[in-house]
Structure 1
Amino acid sequence: MQATTTATPAAPVRSVSYRYDLDGLRGIAIAFVVVFHVFVGKVSGGVDVFLLLSGYFFLGSQLRYAQRDNPSRNPWWPFWRTLRRLYPALLVVLGTTAVVAFLWVPQMRRLEIIDQFTASLLYYQNWELASQNADYNVASGSVSPLQHLWSMAVQGQFYVLAIAVAMVVIWTGRSRWVTPFLIAVTLASFAYACWLWWENQPLNYYSTWTRMWQLTLGALLALHAHRLTLHPWVRQAFTVIGLAMVLSTGFLFDGAWYFPGAAALYPIGGAVLVILGGGAGPVAGVLAHRAMRWLGDIAYPLYLWHWPILILALILLGMDDVPLWLGLAVIAGSLVLADLTHRIVEKPLRQHARRPIRGERRGAAARAQLLTSGAARARAAAGTVLAAVLVGLLTVQGIWQVRLHNAGGVLLDAELYPGARALTGADVPDRTPEPDPDLITWILSPIWTEECISRFGDDPTVLPVDVRGQDCIFGDREATRDVYLVGGSHAEQWVIPLDVLGREHGFRVVPLVRQSCPTFATERDGLFEPDCETFNEHVLERLAEADPELVISTTSRPRFEHGGRTEEIPASYPTFWRFLAEHDIPFAGLRDNPWSTFPDGTELSVPVCMLDIDDPVVCGIVADEFYQPRDPAARYLNRMPHAKAIDTRDWYCVDDLCPAVIGNIYVYRDAHHLSAPYVLSLAPQLWEEIEEFL
């Protein structure tokens, strides 16, 4: 005999009149997101309002169903209903974006974008962007067309929580705990968002845990706002003031810098006032107007469409900024596509039947309907097509990973792909250059793949070699002579030929490298982070203790932080060279390879250029635009004992041009890092320069 339980809700969710004015508010919030993305380049606060309203509508509906007399105990049905609401439009937009990117936008065929397709489909895009250290950027040809889907991921994750809360109410028959639970989550999430704003705003912007308060606050309003009794003129004033706050947010704040911390109380507070207004007054009437409700109906597909249309248009038209005509065209096109998506995709595939009651055999009824209803068969066919799109998009990442694995080796047939040997007279047969520029960015040195580099956010007091041990020792691990490789990512790339040379000539290679952190004893440029200074203190201690046979690093770089394009010697670098001289430690300083940049100093990816233009000359770098007439490090190092300045200019350049391809090998894996196969082909030149030390 099955036991029965009696519901004892402290605050049951009663049926309330549908708030059409909030549909209008949702539409206006998303419209402002679109306008600010296109024309202003700021975050308007519309997404924050959208999240609040999502919490209001979704959890309210879940709990109203949970407190019916006979709700279904099967958690599948609310998930299925939600999937049918969210996925059809998302799959149409992502599928279209993928096709356009694959056929006409080679810049988008990058592994981080492929990963974002999967993250968007599985609703963890916010965490994917955070893991990629992707700031929320204004529209440009270098920004991901899926960047905006972080908020859909947060919303989807909240929906899972909301369904779980409702199912617990159904299973236990008790809802007394729901309000205290939501209050606790709201307060904790808001406090965390305020704290993280000081500590790590990029993560704060994307984090589910710092955004949760906006959704749970909306849920609390759904539970209790209708219980508040206010004078009609107070309600009307709330609506006017609240709408003014929502509309003015983008003019007062840039949400990318301030939300969801304390500043987000301004747009959220405005939306709360509109909700408390209860739909009273002429302003609420305007929000509930049919035109506003239409905007609310298409808000979801409008949000999905506008950003990829904008980004892909900028890339295809070769524009950096959005002129008025293009912005208007993007908005108009987004509205048309959103309306069509809503009418043709969303509405037909949405679940229109009432939610099942306990014991109802909804699955059997649906199967029977397929035999008698043409509309049911049409929906099933459309769902099958969309399921195929989902499987196809999820498969792309796996295919890309297989391709990357197959192309991951740095060894190429030296007769067919001589690389740098072509600069010294080797024959270059007619072959398609390798590796595939689609993949080359992600063919990394073992320092990256073996986690032997200290990355952004890592503890700067920890040297990876101390954690990873022998996995971070290269060359001949049994040798007694040590070569230390120090510096940033432009130094770490040299571990590839040094690994081969170490095994051939009997020395170990020990990397002490950190991302974007050249080695120095004293920071004199104001360019490098405090964590870099801390890391370098530990590197210098280790070098003084180890007394290696040789230290290798790079000696020059452009001051790209200030738009510089020409190599120079940062004032911090010689402080390290003097430290080595004081400790009688030999040093080989490699002149840096060219950096490919636009005239303003921003990076220009060489593989992307080759995908787009396929011209090694046009995609190359004019030598005089990067190099000084002479190696600037020579005047420092040639006066020091046991030090040598290695001029590498002729390793990358022929006459006045540093081409994108040398000896059938792509020289660069991005704008300024050497490709793994090409730097390996430089092993003979490198050994010729360092042999005297070893």
Structure 2
Amino acid sequence: MQAQIFAVLIGGITLLGLFLRVLVRRGRLRSDAVGRILVGLLIAGTVASFGWATLVGPANQTLNYYSTFARFWEIALGGLVALVITRVHLPTWARQLAGVAGLTMLAITGLVLDGAATFPGPAALLPLGGTALTFVAGTTGGSTVTRALASRPIVYLGSIAYPLYLWHWPLLVLFLVYRNFRGAAVTQVSLVDGLAIIAVSLVLAAATDFLLKADSPVRRLRIRVPVILAATAAALTVAITAWLAPIPQVSADDLDPALYPGAAAAAGAPVPRGVEFAPRAEAARMDLPQSGFDDCVAYYDREGPVDVVSCDYGAPRAPGRKVLAMVGGSHVDHFLPAVDLIGKEQGFTVELVVMVGCSLGYGPTAATSHDSERCVQWQAKAMDHIVDTRPDAVFTNSTRPAKPFGTGDHVPQWYVDAFTRLSDAGIPVVGIRDLPWLMTADDQTIEPFDCMAVRDDAVACGVSRDWSLAPVDPAIEALGSLPGVSLIDASDQYCGPEECPVVVGNVLVYRDAHHFTKTFVLSMRPFLERELSRTLGWFEAPGAH
């Protein structure tokens, strides 16, 4: 974002300067008007960017946070200060007050603001305003604060600020990852640990500055420009090649079931020792169902109208052919790889109707099911679509984790109302119990690939069964008596009597804190085929009797 803004500013200012120079030379513009024009344009751009970041951008905070236009005003405000600060003349008492206020605002920013959640909106005025006040305090004689900031230690600290900024973040993140999976989970560092990270960062920043500054021993070696360019080109080639290199993907179809039984281990299949689990942790994030690559899902955090995206899998539609609609969010979608193959084998169509991050919901409490109004709108449209098109059955989730985490799972009222609506419409529903989420009591995710990279302990990186699942599937009581409703509980496929590990049968169960890997879902195919045969009655699964 910074690089883009700087590139635009350099190019834009250059072109604008040339244009204004031509106007001045041709007598169409007075030279003393150039400064006012620059300030006016900068003010207009700053206001527009600030307005966007404040009024429009928060609809998608992640996009807003990384948006070049939303962040432009933060840097442009510094440009305005630079253009007008020489004209500011304050009395001594005002400069002293500005210095104390500015430094205080900077010091408390990290204590009172959550930058990722509130920037780049009005909250950014706290550190930026503090910076501007500190600059103002240094005009026409300065102040006590600015004279302290001009001392040799502080000036040196400022000179290594950028390498300090670059070093401290990976050190902090690596410490947190290691600390989380080598001890009790933490969400912030202690004072001692924080000071240690700062100390190490300072040493590395100082070393970086020493090695790279103009008079460093490395720079005095007078390495020829061609050598530097060649080394840079080689480094870029390696980096780009590594970035573009495909992450090795494996699926249950490519694995030897004797070595990687996956969910079959729950049925007693032997699990060989000494076999590295698959997919590997670094590939798990991309071990996804095909729907995302086919652009066959909707997203609650996208712009534009809320539409029901529907795609067919399984056997192609044909007169008299059964249709199973998989409806809900990503926790329905991650079963698609297995259900798709079952549909092709058993001759029924699989219609996918999914909004990622949402779920099937209905009734008065549906509005409380998600913070996004788009999700609530999609729920209504998805229900209308199902009732209007009348598939032969619906496959969806029947439970969710109870809050707070650690109190098992439950059936929210909007699920009860959705199942009831479909039951009243005479549409059979197959509800499948949700998987255990890898979460802490304070809603922090446990990323399985981070944990396995540090500990390589499938049980320690998972969750206990009584933490994430109720002793009995709560959907039995909440939904089991509804006409046309059938239930599937697959928890024994990936949980033992006491633990729900992240690796089962040498296959990684989770691609993140609460989604299956495609590989593990494919290993669940025989179980899902038997359960769909039992609940739907459309076909007889191999080994069902």
So what's the TM-score if we normalise by structure 1?
Answer: 0.66
Structure 1 residue 510: Cα displacement: 0.7
Q: Corresponding residue for 2:513?
A: 671
Q: Does 1:325 align with 2:192?
A: yes
- Superposition pairs of residues 75-474 of structure 1, within 5 angstroms: 154-168=1-15, 171-172=18-19, 173-174=21-22, 176=34, 178-196=38-56, 199-228=59-88, 238-250=98-110, 253-276=113-136, 277-278=138-139, 280-283=141-144, 284-317=146-179, 318=182, 320=186, 321-348=188-215, 375-377=221-223, 388-399=234-245, 402-404=246-248, 406-407=249-250, 411-429=254-272, 431-458=275-302, 461-465=306-310, 472-474=311-313
* 1:483 equivalent among 314, 324, 329: 324
| Mapped partners of 2:197, 2:409: distance in 1 | 40
Q: Corresponding residue for 2:388?
A: 545
Q: Corresponding residue for 2:339?
A: 498
Match of 1:595, as an amino acid?
W
> Is contact 2:177–2:450 with CA below 8 Å preserved after alignment?
no
Provide, for residues 53-109 of structure 1, a one-character-per-residue CA deviation record: whole Å limited to 9, x for no partner.
xxxxxxxxxxxxxxxxxxxxxxxxxxxxxxxxxxxxxxxxxxxxxxxxxxxxxxxxx
Q: 1:639 to 1:316 in 2, by over 3 A?
A: closer
> Is contact 1:550–1:587 with CA below 8 Å preserved after alignment?
yes
Unaligned runs of at least 5 residues, structure 1: 1-153, 351-372, 466-471
Structure 1 residue 548: Cα displacement: 1.1
> Is contact 1:484–1:512 with CA below 8 Å preserved after alignment?
yes
| Mapped partners of 1:656, 1:242: distance in 2 | 55
Structure 1 residue 483: Cα displacement: 0.6
Structure 1 residue 647: Cα displacement: 2.5
| Mapped partners of 1:242, 1:630: distance in 2 | 58
> Is contact 1:520–1:572 with CA below 8 Å preserved after alignment?
yes
> Is contact 1:348–1:379 with CA below 8 Å preserved after alignment?
no
| Mapped partners of 2:265, 2:212: distance in 1 | 56
| Mapped partners of 2:161, 2:497: distance in 1 | 57
- With 235-244 and 431-440 compared, the bigger mean Cα shift is at 235-244
Q: 1:199 to 1:648 in 2, by over 3 A?
A: closer
Unaligned runs of at least 5 residues, structure 2: 25-33, 539-545
| Mapped partners of 2:98, 2:516: distance in 1 | 60
| Mapped partners of 2:214, 2:75: distance in 1 | 25
Say how many residue pairs are matched: 509
| Mapped partners of 1:499, 1:532: distance in 2 | 25
Structure 1 residue 551: Cα displacement: 0.7
> Is contact 2:95–2:143 with CA below 8 Å preserved after alignment?
no
Structure 1 residue 386: Cα displacement: 5.8
> Is contact 2:333–2:354 with CA below 8 Å preserved after alignment?
yes
> Is contact 2:400–2:410 with CA below 8 Å preserved after alignment?
yes
Structure 1 residue 380: Cα displacement: 7.0
| Mapped partners of 2:348, 2:494: distance in 1 | 27
Identity among equivalent positions (%) equals: 34
Provide, for residues 461-501 of structure 1, a one-character-per-residue CA deviation record: whole Å limited to 9, x for no partner.
30122xxxxxx210012333211001222111121111111
Q: Corresponding residue for 2:397?
A: 554
Q: 1:310 to 1:500 in 2, by over 3 A?
A: same
Q: 1:296 to 1:659 in 2, by over 3 A?
A: closer
| Mapped partners of 2:507, 2:436: distance in 1 | 16
The DSSP-based 3-state class of the residue aligned with 2:298 is: coil
The DSSP-based 3-state class of the residue aligned with 2:515 is: coil
Q: Corresponding residue for 1:522?
A: 363
> Is contact 1:242–1:271 with CA below 8 Å preserved after alignment?
yes
Match of 2:316, as an amino acid?
R
- With 500-509 and 677-686 compared, the bigger mean Cα shift is at 677-686
| Mapped partners of 1:197, 1:478: distance in 2 | 42
Q: 1:331 to 1:649 in 2, by over 3 A?
A: closer
| Mapped partners of 1:609, 1:272: distance in 2 | 43
* 1:687 equivalent among 522, 526, 529: 529
Provide, for residues 416-450 of structure 1, a one-character-per-residue CA deviation record: whole Å limited to 9, x for no partner.
43322333344545543322222112110012221
Q: Which has the higher relative contact order, 1 or 2, with Cα contacts under 8 A spaced 6 or more apart?
A: 1
Q: 1:587 to 1:384 in 2, by over 3 A?
A: same
| Mapped partners of 2:462, 2:110: distance in 1 | 41
| Mapped partners of 1:256, 1:672: distance in 2 | 23
Match of 2:10, as an amino acid?
I
Q: 1:396 to 1:226 in 2, by over 3 A?
A: same
Q: Corresponding residue for 1:575?
A: 417
So what's the TM-score if we normalise by structure 2?
Answer: 0.83
> Is contact 1:447–1:453 with CA below 8 Å preserved after alignment?
yes
> Is contact 1:563–1:602 with CA below 8 Å preserved after alignment?
no
Provide, for residues 309-353 of structure 1, a one-character-per-residue CA deviation record: whole Å limited to 9, x for no partner.
222223334462322221221122222222221121143589xxx
| Mapped partners of 2:496, 2:90: distance in 1 | 79
Q: 1:282 to 1:275 in 2, by over 3 A?
A: closer
- With 375-384 and 219-228 compared, the bigger mean Cα shift is at 375-384
Q: Corresponding residue for 1:536?
A: 379
Match of 2:176, as an amino acid?
L
Q: 1:483 to 1:389 in 2, by over 3 A?
A: same
Q: 1:602 to 1:552 in 2, by over 3 A?
A: same
Q: 1:247 to 1:419 in 2, by over 3 A?
A: closer
Q: Corresponding residue for 1:359?
A: none
Structure 1 residue 578: Cα displacement: 0.9
| Mapped partners of 2:111, 2:440: distance in 1 | 31
> Is contact 1:454–1:460 with CA below 8 Å preserved after alignment?
no
Q: 1:314 to 1:618 in 2, by over 3 A?
A: closer
| Mapped partners of 1:594, 1:568: distance in 2 | 12
